[in-house]
């Protein structure tokens, strides 16, 4: 109870802070303050400023590498907007949108913040051939004041990933960008849910307040509209799993949409992440399945014996295809969204000819920014939709596995 008393004192303070934040936001209310014309002018100015800074920052690396005489002699050796993407070939001549996008989509051993700054993350590597562990921080791979990367203990950093120099087999246990983002999402979820559950135990039978009023409809939605509708009578056993999976996918989707530092990792667009979720769904579907489910897979009632030779393999394949489809759907949707957003943002650099033509980059900015806002809004919807669809399909599959037929209604 000592712990409980402490929390009781702390939580009202946090709540008051939340309330003051909410009051601030409702007072400012940007949309009301700007009329239509003001908004147009504002967005135009914003695009101009954005494109100017974007093209200026793409020229910055060139200035710092001016000790290289060839860079001055050939004006075409402007380097790209994104340094880490091409640190291995720092003098390639044009902007490479595919390289930039693929670098963003892929996992990384460091978290790129802005310009040359990146957040160092722990590197934990098990070398299978040498049978030893290698641990360091990813900042060890950066040259002290220079551009490129240095080799450390027989490992090199290429495109923000660590590779062994001698090509030996490694297992990477590092806290990578995606793992970091995932842990961040986890902490946010824990804070939110502990606040909400504490509020429920403190204010029994009262009207929900603050964060409660945000979370209650969502949890009700998952528990009743998704789980109860599709699973049937013993749905309560699966509600914790479904609520977990819904909010975990949702928070990671939303974190991925934040374009600046703590977000922006392509977490739920990572095939390992979605594989883990699909595997959990596979376990939940099959481990708790009822007898009739296996009966319908191996010996379908009311089907001729000869036909079972064809039907049984198809049904057995179906067990595995369901979670694989879940896995690929989430992966494809989120990765596709990230690619769409980044390729539109790349238009500024393509049209601006990598900072050489300011007019082109401003024009690109004016085209790109309304499109970007549209695609981002679309992705916000997709973030919710995919969390919903994953949870919904999982609960439908669980519902199929939970069904029990009486012998009368064999079809």
Give me the residues that bind other proteins (CB under 8 A), please: 325, 328-329, 331-333, 336, 385, 388-389, 392-393, 396
CB of 238 or CB of 331, closer to other proteins: 331
DSSP letter (8 states) at residue 340: H
Longest Cα–Cα distance of the chain, Å, equals: 87
Least Å from the CB of residue 383 to other proteins = 14
CB of 121 or CB of 330, closer to other proteins: 330
Four-CA torsion 246, 251, 252, 254, nearest 10 degrees: 120
Least Å from the CB of residue 30 to other proteins = 31
CB of 195 or CB of 231, closer to other proteins: 231
Tokens at residue 370, please? Answer: 């309304």
Tokens at residue 36, please? Answer: 């239509």
Q: How far is CA 385 from CA 188, 337, 341, in A?
A: 21, 13, 18
Query: Which residues make Cβ contacts (< 8 Å) with residue 103, sequence separation at least 6?
Result: 82, 84, 85, 159, 160
Least Å from the CB of residue 221 to other proteins = 12
What is the bridge-based pairing of β-strands 170-172 and 122-127?
Answer: antiparallel
DSSP letter (8 states) at residue 142: B
Query: Which residues make Cβ contacts (< 8 Å) with residue 180, sequence separation at least 6?
Result: 111, 121, 265
CB of 175 or CB of 380, closer to other proteins: 380
Least Å from the CB of residue 328 to other proteins = 5
Least Å from the CB of residue 116 to other proteins = 30
Least Å from the CB of residue 262 to other proteins = 27
257 touches 302 (CB < 8 A): no
Least Å from the CB of residue 354 to other proteins = 22
CB of 144 or CB of 381, closer to other proteins: 381
Q: Cβ of 83: how many Cβ atoms within 10 Å? A: 20
Least Å from the CB of residue 366 to other proteins = 27
348 touches 54 (CB < 8 A): yes
DSSP letter (8 states) at residue 123: E
Q: How far is CA 277 from the centre of its chain?
A: 13
CB of 107 or CB of 110, closer to other proteins: 107
CB of 60 or CB of 106, closer to other proteins: 106
Query: Tokens 């090199």 belong to which residue?
Result: 156
CA-angle at 357, arms to 352 and 363, nearest 5°? 50
CB of 240 or CB of 336, closer to other proteins: 336
46 touches 369 (CB < 8 A): yes
CB of 42 or CB of 320, closer to other proteins: 320
Least Å from the CB of residue 395 to other proteins = 11
């Amino acid at each position: 109870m000592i712990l409980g008393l402490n929390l009781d004192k702390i939580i009202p303070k946090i709540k008051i802070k939340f309330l003051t934040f909410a009051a601030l936001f409702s007072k400012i209310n940007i949309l009301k303050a700007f009329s239509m014309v003001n908004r147009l002018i504002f967005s135009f100015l914003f695009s101009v400023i954005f494109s100017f800074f974007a093209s200026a920052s793409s020229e910055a690396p060139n200035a710092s590498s001016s000790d290289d005489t060839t860079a001055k002699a050939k004006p075409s050796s402007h380097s790209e907007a994104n340094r880490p993407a091409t640190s291995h070939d720092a003098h390639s001549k044009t902007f490479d949108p595919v390289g930039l996008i693929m670098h963003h989509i892929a996992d990384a051993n460091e978290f790129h913040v802005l310009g040359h700054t990146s957040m160092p993350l722990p590197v934990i590597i098990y070398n299978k051939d040498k049978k030893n562990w290698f641990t360091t921080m990813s900042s060890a791979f950066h040259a002290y004041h220079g551009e490129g990367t240095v080799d450390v203990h027989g490992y090199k950093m290429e495109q923000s990933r660590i590779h062994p120099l001698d090509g030996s087999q490694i297992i990477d246990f590092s806290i990578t960008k995606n793992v970091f983002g995932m842990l961040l999402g986890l902490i946010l979820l824990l804070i939110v849910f502990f606040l909400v559950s504490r509020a429920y135990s403190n204010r029994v039978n009262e009207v929900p307040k603050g964060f409660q009023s945000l979370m209650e409809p969502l949890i009700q939605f998952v528990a009743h509209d998704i789980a109860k509708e599709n699973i049937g009578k013993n749905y309560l056993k699966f509600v914790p799993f479904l609520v977990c999976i819904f909010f975990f996918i949702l928070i990671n989707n939303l974190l991925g949409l934040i374009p600046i530092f703590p977000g922006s990792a392509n977490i739920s667009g990572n095939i390992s992440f979605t594989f883990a979720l699909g595997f959990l769904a596979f376990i939940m579907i099959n481990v708790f399945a009822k007898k009739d489910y296996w009966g319908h897979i191996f010996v379908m009632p009311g089907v001729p014996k000869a036909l079972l030779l064809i039907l049984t393999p198809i049904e057995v394949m179906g067990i595995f295809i369901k979670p694989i489809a879940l896995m690929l759907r989430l992966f494809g949707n989120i990765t596709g969204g990230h690619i769409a957003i980044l390729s539109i943002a790349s238009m500024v650099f393509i049209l601006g000819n990598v900072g050489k033509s300011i007019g082109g980059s401003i024009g690109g900015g004016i085209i790109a920014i309304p499109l970007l806002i549209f695609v981002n809004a679309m992705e916000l919807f997709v973030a919710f939709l995919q969390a919903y669809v994953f949870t919904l399909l999982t609960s439908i599959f669980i519902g199929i596995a939970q069904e029990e037929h009486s012998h009368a209604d064999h079809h």
